[in-house]
């Protein structure tokens, strides 16, 4: 059985809609994958995530390795049982987090986001061909991550979809460094696949990671090397450039190459999930995305709304909402707006750092992104993606066409 069944393609772009088949069920694509970095979608329970319509969540190897430790998760029967999530789980390899410690602000630089704090407290002790030795940000103890250990941890976690361990190349390095780093990622890919073939769960899908910085030839070579190896799918990682335009171009070099060498393999775009990036990503043929944005900004009082001018963001903590009795969005079917929680109440909760405030905005934001992805998927299936994408880009509310129709 192929990992991905492609049900429809958009004649005007590279977009496709399909079904990803995993050991714990199917994922409707294109899909956004909410982060459960530490084994929990922050502020939510699994049933909330299911009710929002999500099929898959993403756990993180680096964080779960350090705390509570993969052996403890294994003791509970794997990550599904530990966190009480029955659906598909993808686990990140830890490469991005471990290299972010060494490269300082590489995480922020690559993904254009605010610092994650916890990732920075640790320290890299050494990087060589064997792997990476570093100090845990939890207790200062010395740890080692390598291609084999990353795969071993992901096997213990029992994820449905494992990512190989890669060297996440920072942006501000030379072409020569990027080329050497990308070659190491390819050698580590082979070691991950060898370990998995010998020891890994046979029903666990393995995705390789494309690197190559912002150099077209390196990106295309890396894509071809990864896609033609024994991987089940391909993830696009590393530095995608300084601007959105560059990020879209660099990602498209990969999907363009994939259309040629491995059109049927599923593609994941790592750590990208701004609203306009999701729309563009779907158009260039990405099948699934993960990003901290919707859940993280929710906890800081930012709600997603159909307002491209403000990057689809709405600041609920603004003093002007003190007495506002309307919901975040009129006619929003999410659990927060449909229950009638006012902007004034949410602002009050958020200012008081009440947990329920963070939870309600998280529900609204994930509901917003899920309606957007459903709109895009249904448009591909109906052959109307260009119109739907244009409407969403210019500020149409996701899900509106379906509510009206």
Report in angstroms how near the CB of residue 332 gets to Zn ion at its nearest: 3
Rg of the chain, C-alpha, whole Å: 20
| Phi, psi dihedral angles at 381 (to 5 degrees) | -65, -35
Query: Catalytic pick from 55, 92, 160, 232?
Result: 92
Q: Select 44 or 334, whichever has its Cβ closest to Zn ion.
A: 334
Separation of alpha carbons 344 and 64, rounded Å:
37
Asked if 361 is part of the footprint of Zn ion (rule: CB under 5 A), the reply reads: no
| Site residue total, Zn ion (CB under 5 A) | 5
369 belongs to the binding site for Zn ion (CB under 5 A) = no
Distance CA 42, CA 88 (A): 18
Pick the catalytic residue: 55, 232, 290, 375?
290
Tracing tokens 């992104």 back to the chain, one arrives at: 369
Closest distance to Zn ion from the beta carbon of 302 (Å):
13
Q: How far is the CB of 50 from Zn ion (least distance, A)?
A: 18
Contact status: 364 vs Zn ion (CB under 5 A): yes
Instruction: Mark whether 92 is an active-site residue.
Output: yes
Residues sharing a CB contact under 8 Å with residue 198, sequence separation 6 or more, in sequence order: none
Q: Scan residues 302-341 and list those touching Zn ion (CB under 5 A).
A: 332, 334, 336-337
Compute the distance between CA of residue 307 and CA of residue 310 in angstroms, rounded to an integer. Answer: 6
Burial of 162 from C-beta contacts in 10 A (0-12 / 13-18 / 19+): buried
Q: Does 391 bind Zn ion (CB under 5 A)?
A: no
Active site residue 290: yes
**Whose Cβ is closer to Zn ion: residue 187's or residue 310's?**
310
Closer residue to Zn ion, CB minimum distance, 256 or 315:
315
Residue number, 3 or 332, with CB nearest to Zn ion? 332
* DSSP characters over 34-95: -B-TTSS-TT--HHHHHHTT---EEEEHHHHHHTT-HHHHHHTTSHHHHHT--S-EEEE-SH
Binding site for Zn ion (CB under 5 A): 332, 334, 336-337, 364
Q: Catalytic positions, please?
A: 92, 290
């Amino acid at each position: 059985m192929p990992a991905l069944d492609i049900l429809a393609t958009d004649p005007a772009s590279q977009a496709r809609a399909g079904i990803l088949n995993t050991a714990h069920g199917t994922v409707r694509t294109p899909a956004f994958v909410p982060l459960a970095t530490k084994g929990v979608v922050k502020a939510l329970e699994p049933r909330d995530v299911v009710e929002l319509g999500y099929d898959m969540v993403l756990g993180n190897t680096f964080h779960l390795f350090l705390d509570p430790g993969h052996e403890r998760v294994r003791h509970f029967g794997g990550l599904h049982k530990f966190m009480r999530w029955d659906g598909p789980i993808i686990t990140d390899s830890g490469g991005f987090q471990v290299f972010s410690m060494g490269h300082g602000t590489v995480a922020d630089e690559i993904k254009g986001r605010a610092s994650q704090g916890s990732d920075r407290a640790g320290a890299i002790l050494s990087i060589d061909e064997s792997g990476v030795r570093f100090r845990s940000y939890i207790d200062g103890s010395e740890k080692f991550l390598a291609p084999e250990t990353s795969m071993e941890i992901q096997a213990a976690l029992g994820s449905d979809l494992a990512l190989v361990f890669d060297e996440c190349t920072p942006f501000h390095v030379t072409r020569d460094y990027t080329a050497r780093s990308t070659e190491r990622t390819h050698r580590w890919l082979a070691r991950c696949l060898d370990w998995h073939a010998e020891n890994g769960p046979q029903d666990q899908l393995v995705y390789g990671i494309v690197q190559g910085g912002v150099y077209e030839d390196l990106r295309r070579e890396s894509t071809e090397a990864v896609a033609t190896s024994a991987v089940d799918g391909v993830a696009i990682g590393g530095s995608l450039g300084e601007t959105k335009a560059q990020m879209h171009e660099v990602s498209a070099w990969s999907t363009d190459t994939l259309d040629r060498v491995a059109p049927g393999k599923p593609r994941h775009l790592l750590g990208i999930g701004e609203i306009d990036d999701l729309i563009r990503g779907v158009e260039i043929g990405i099948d699934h995305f993960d990003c901290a944005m919707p859940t993280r900004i929710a906890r800081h009082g930012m709600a997603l709304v159909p307002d491209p001018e403000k990057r689809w963001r709405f600041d609920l903590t603004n003093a002007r909402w003190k007495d506002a009795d309307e919901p975040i969005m009129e006619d929003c079917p999410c659990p927060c707006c449909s229950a009638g929680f006012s902007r004034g109440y949410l602002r009050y909760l958020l200012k008081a750092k009440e947990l329920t405030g963070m939870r309600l905005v998280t529900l609204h934001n994930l509901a917003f992104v899920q309606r957007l992805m459903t709109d895009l998927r249904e448009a591909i299936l109906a052959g109307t993606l260009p119109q739907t994408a244009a409407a969403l880009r210019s500020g149409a509310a996701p899900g509106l066409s379906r509510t009206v129709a």
